Amino acid sequence: MAHANRSLKNILLRHEVLLLLVLGCEIAYFLGFARNFGTADNLTNIIRHSAEIGLLALAMMPVIVTGGIDLSIGSLMGLCAVLFGVLTHDAHMATLPAAAVTLAVGLAAGAFNALLITALRLPPLIVTLGTYSLFRGLAEAVTQGTKTYRDFDPSFLSLGEARWLGVPFQAWCLIGGALFYGVLVHATTLGRSFRSIGFSPEGTRYAGISVQKRTALPYLLSGLVAAVAALLFTARLRQARADAGTGYELLAITAVVLGGTSIFGGTGSVYGTLAGIAAIAVLNNGIGRVPLVLKAGIGSELAALCTGALLLIALAAPGIGRILSNLGQRRAAGAPSAPKLEKN
């Protein structure tokens, strides 16, 4: 049957597979042309720098699968970083309890989003746009926009450089996050219901699944993950400022969508998101190491440009493919390649 045939083609044309190809091309190009790209040091570097965005993207993925969005996580990261600074410096708390409080506040902020979205049935885009400003504003109010917290506990700061079994600490965080979300989304009934809610909230309700409760969960978790990312960020940069994580929510969304998750909800995979994160991280790191770019000093600008282009191409590719194959079929059938306009 044509069915089996088509499924093979489908596997090859799977978004994740295409994305891995893109990633492969990136790596091959940078290995050939970028300076010091393929060193072990640089691999560590890539992982260290992409851990926070990676975690945020993993947290964003189930949110988008339910058909929602969380724009507040970058701002929440800033708020949590500042809070951690306040607790350790101004309140003279020990690192561990301060970190625990920070995580609890992250969770509470996520719960606040979830409450507005599920109990009051407000659109996620608007709710998290509101908390996006709210959380950042709070962080800036606390620091008066200028204060930077430094001199954290050395044992906390060492996390930024730490390795375990030769693998950077941040990589373990990413692996842990990926495993957690992979299992949640792909192996539990919770993940299954995120999907069905993304496809049809009403249909899910009619199947006797409590849609509101299930929808709340990804927002709760994304609040918690934003707090984790804030701690990692603080340990890596050795300082906490109100502008931590600015713009990270958009990068996270980019990684998720690039990874094949539909912005309308329903479809998506955690491994696709991981590939999306990798494609962006490698691009950002490698492009700054291409000699010409290095000389011109436009690494980060060009990286942003290429990330955007990559996203648009990835989204447009299936449509373009369809148009091309339609054209091919019409040619083959000997029909005109464009429908003629009928005159009245």
Partner 1 sequence: MTEPLLRLSQISKSFGAVRALKGVSFELHPGEVHALLGENGAGKSTLIKVVTGAHTPDGGLLEISGQAVHNLTPTRAQALGIACIYQQPALFPDLSVSENIGLRLESPAVWGRVYWRQRREKAMSLLKRIGADIHPETLVNRLSMPEQQLVEIACALGSGARTVIMDEPTASLTRSEQELLFAVVRDLRASGAGVVYISHRLEEIFALADRVTVLRDGESICTRPVRSDSGEMQLSEEELIQLMVGREVSAIYPPKGRSPGETVLELKNVSCAAGNVSEVSLTVRAGEVVGLAGLVGAGRTELARVLFGITPADSGSVRLNGKDVRIQSPRQAVELGIAYVPEDRRRHGVILQMPIAQNMSMAVHPKLFPGKWLRFGAEKALGLRFIQELGIKAYGPEAPGGSLSGGNQQKVSLARWLATEPKLLILDEPTQGVDVGAKSEIHRIIRNLAEQGLAVVMISSDLPEVLGMSDRICVMRGGRLVASLEGVDATADSIMAAALKAH
Q: Which residues, at least 6 apart from 146, have a Cβ–Cβ distance to it below 8 Å?
A: none
Which of 104, 207, 250, 323 binds partner 1 (CB under 8 A)? It is: 207
Count the residues in the chain.
344
**Is residue 42 at the binding interface for partner 1, with CB under 8 A as the rule?**
no
CA distance linking residue 153 with residue 170, whole number of Å: 18
Which of 9, 36, 154, 202 binds partner 1 (CB under 8 A)? It is: 202
CA distance linking residue 272 with residue 254, whole number of Å: 12
**Is residue 3 at the binding interface for partner 1, with CB under 8 A as the rule?**
yes
**Residue 294 phi/psi, 5° resolution?**
-60, -45
CA distance linking residue 46 with residue 288, whole number of Å: 12
36 vs 189 by CB, closer to partner 1: 189
CA distance linking residue 142 with residue 144, whole number of Å: 6
Angle of helix 299-333 versus helix 248-258 axis, rounded to 10: 30
Which 222-281 positions form the footprint of partner 1 (CB under 8 A)?
266-267
Q: Pick the piece of the chain touching partner 1 (CB under 8 A) from 105-113, 145-153, 181-189, 250-258.
A: 181-189
205 vs 289 by CB, closer to partner 1: 205
Q: Are 247 and 101 in contact (CB under 8 A)?
A: no
Which of 24, 38, 145, 203 binds partner 1 (CB under 8 A)? It is: 203
**Is residue 214 at the binding interface for partner 1, with CB under 8 A as the rule?**
no
Which of 100, 134, 209, 294 binds partner 1 (CB under 8 A)? It is: 209
201 vs 245 by CB, closer to partner 1: 201
Which of 66, 113, 131, 196 binds partner 1 (CB under 8 A)? It is: 196
**Amino acid type, 150:** R
Q: Taking the mean position of all CA atoms in its chain, how far away is CA 135?
A: 19
47 vs 197 by CB, closer to partner 1: 197
139 vs 221 by CB, closer to partner 1: 221
Which parts of this chain interact with partner 1 (CB under 8 A)? Answer: 1, 3, 186-193, 195-196, 199-200, 202-210, 266-267
